[in-house]
Structure 1
Amino acid sequence: MVQSLLILVFFFSILSKIAGATMQVEAFNHLKLPQWFRTFTGFVQLIGVAGLIAGFWNKGSLSISTLWIACTMLGAILFHLRVGDPLKRWAAPLLLMIVSITLSFLYFSELRDVFI
């Protein structure tokens, strides 16, 4: 269930980033990031979502993908902190990072399936 919710949240986030939705363009401008980085971030998150989908069959892949997504959320938090945003502006990435890390640790023992 949590895995599916992460897929949905990030899928729509990816679409809006890659399509150049006004909200995303303004968010990256606010964070003082170039627009190419918005598109790049969308593709980085797409890799994570692909791993989340693969995680339905391989829980080791799920563990790695959730850590990948947690890293992107850590980046988002750091960019928000860099421009001095209050907690309410970076609470969503923080929540997604916590959920991703938690899910990763639940399946951490399955990592051997990825490397063997």
Structure 2
Amino acid sequence: MNYITIALQCIVAISILNVWLVQNKKATQWRGGNATTIIEEFEVYGLPVWMCYVIGTLKVLFALGLIAAIWYPELKEPSAIGLAVLLMGSIAMHIKISDPIKKSFPAFLFLCMCVYIAFSDKIVLS
């Protein structure tokens, strides 16, 4: 059992759940453009509102998968890779609308964590 990986799983999962379930209607410094809610952010990106619900549902499911993976390790890799793909999309949307790089930082940081989580069993440190 790798406690660093488990800690990262918890950090990523709790952060994603916080953004999508608690902070979704609140303005933050990380929102794209001048959006104050997640729905507004998707509109700024030129994406339909239904896509916000699809992406949000997937992110919440993958985040819950990371938590469940503590007890069911077979969920770890698909959940982390799924989140990594969605986080790459987040970064691409910030770039699309020419946001300052600072706004992409959380997505990039969590992307790095997800890649580590997904492949931590394959990483050999000697």
- Per the TM superposition, whether the score is higher than 0.5 is yes
Give the superposition deviation at 1:108. Answer: 4.7
Q: How many equivalent residue pairs?
A: 107
Give the superposition deviation at 1:27. Answer: 1.6
Unaligned runs of 5+ in 2: 1-6, 26-35
What amino acid is the match of 1:34? P
Contact kept? 1:63, 1:107, Cα under 8 Å: no
Q: Distance in 1 between matches of 2:66 and 2:121?
A: 12
TM-score w.r.t. length of structure 2: 0.75
Contact kept? 1:31, 1:83, Cα under 8 Å: yes
Q: Distance in 1 between matches of 2:40 and 2:105?
A: 18
Change (3 A) 1:24 1:97: same
Q: Distance in 2 between matches of 1:83 and 1:16?
A: 25
**Richer in helix (by share):** 1
Cα RMSD for the two superposed structures: 2.0
Matching residue of 1:27: 41
Match status 1:45 vs 2:59: yes
What amino acid is the match of 1:79? M
Change (3 A) 1:16 1:34: farther
Q: Which of the residues 12, 18, 38 maps onto 1:6?
A: 12
Identity of aligned residues (%): 22
1:39 is paired with a residue of what secondary structure?
A: helix
Q: Distance in 2 between matches of 1:72 and 1:65?
A: 11
Runs of 4+ aligned structure 1 residues displaced above 3 Å come to: none
Q: Distance in 2 between matches of 1:30 and 1:16?
A: 21
TM-score w.r.t. length of structure 1: 0.80
Unaligned runs of 5+ in 1: 110-116
Matching residue of 2:76: 62
**74-83 vs 56-65, which moves further:** 56-65
